Amino acid sequence: MSAVEVSSVTKEFAVAAARPARGRGGAGRGGAGRDTAASGPGTVRALDDVSLTVAEGEFVALIGPSGCGKSTLMRLIADLDEPSSGEVSVFGMPARQARLERAYGIAFQQSGLLPWRTVRANVELPLQLHGAPAAERRARADELIELVGLTEFADRHPDQLSGGMQQRVAIARSLAEHPRLLLMDEPFGALDEMTRERLQGELLRIRAETGAAVVFVTHSIPEAVFLADRVVVMSARPGRITDIVAVERTPMAAGPADDAVRETDAFFRSVTAVREALHGREGAAPRGAEAR
């Protein structure tokens, strides 16, 4: 059984015609319409016939230009929205059922922590919402807080932590219910390069420990290559999968999260393959008025 199965999914959004946009005389949504293939008056096709299978325990990165539908695809997998046509299943269940059965954890770009709760109380939140007893919640939260290296900050509030630490809390929270699937939408987008590389290593370590499948959105080619088994390359207008690059791995001494991987020839070859998949297309396909 696969972790995620996306079959021929198309997603169209209705675009409100004249929603006022500050200082732009109401042209705001028109801009969105031009950005994506319009499939009819008043609709934007964000995803066009997208199919993707993520195996159990597999790490898949999604990369592509802004507006190509990466977040939309994640939201469909998480059942935060519904496809216009096609199907999404998670561990063989319809997306809705998978959400109700809490089959996955989510960490999106904004950490989404509750500022009035401590680190521990934030990590406990999903367990609390689902009625886990207090002692069990506390034990699980402490275990996860240790996993992300924040034990001494367990009683602090989010505003007392750096952005990177807040992201680690969000990752701990996403793991609270032992998900077999993690959905992560640019979770490290706002971080400095050093923190980012450290969290990438931590994520691989956590993933090795939990065996969870991961779908991870990023704008960074090296990040995608360092983390993923496969890199899914998408294009905009309309949002489609244009390439899937299997990342080359060299046998490593110190395990999957070893930073030395970043300097191997295999790593550079995969970075080049993804870069060509992304940019080759931009250069190759004439897009008329959009060419700059």
Query: Shortest CA distance to 244 belongs to which of 271, 217, 208, 277?
Result: 277
Interaction partner, residue 66 (ligand ATP, Mg ion, none; CB < 5-8 Å by kind)? ligand ATP
Interaction partner, residue 289 (Mg ion, ligand ATP, none; CB < 5-8 Å by kind)? none
Extract the runs of DSSP E, i.e. beta strands, from the chain: 2-14, 43-55, 59-63, 85-90, 93-94, 104-108, 181-185, 213-217, 230-235, 240-246
Residue 89: C-alpha distances to residues 7, 83, 94, 232 (Å):
8, 12, 5, 18
Q: Which of 23, 41, 66, 152 binds ligand ATP (CB under 6 A)?
A: 66
Considering only residues 211 through 270, tell me which ones interact with ligand ATP, judged by CB under 6 A.
Answer: 239
Q: Which is nearer to ligand ATP, 66 or 254 (CB)?
A: 66
Q: Which is nearer to ligand ATP, 178 or 219 (CB)?
A: 219
Least separation, in Å, of the C-beta of 239 and ligand ATP?
Answer: 6
Query: Shortest CA distance to 202 belongs to which of 150, 251, 148, 162?
Result: 148
Query: Shortest CA distance to 187 belongs to which of 165, 205, 167?
Result: 167
Tell the residue number behind the tokens 């297309």, with chain if given. 281
Q: Which is nearer to ligand ATP, 30 or 67 (CB)?
A: 67
Q: Which of 68, 144, 212, 231 binds ligand ATP (CB under 6 A)?
A: 68
Q: Which of 3, 52, 54, 69 binds ligand ATP (CB under 6 A)?
A: 69
Kindly list the residues in this chain that would bind Mg ion in the complex (CB under 5 A). Answer: 71
Contact positions vs ligand ATP (CB under 6 A): 13, 15, 32, 35-36, 44, 46, 66-72, 239
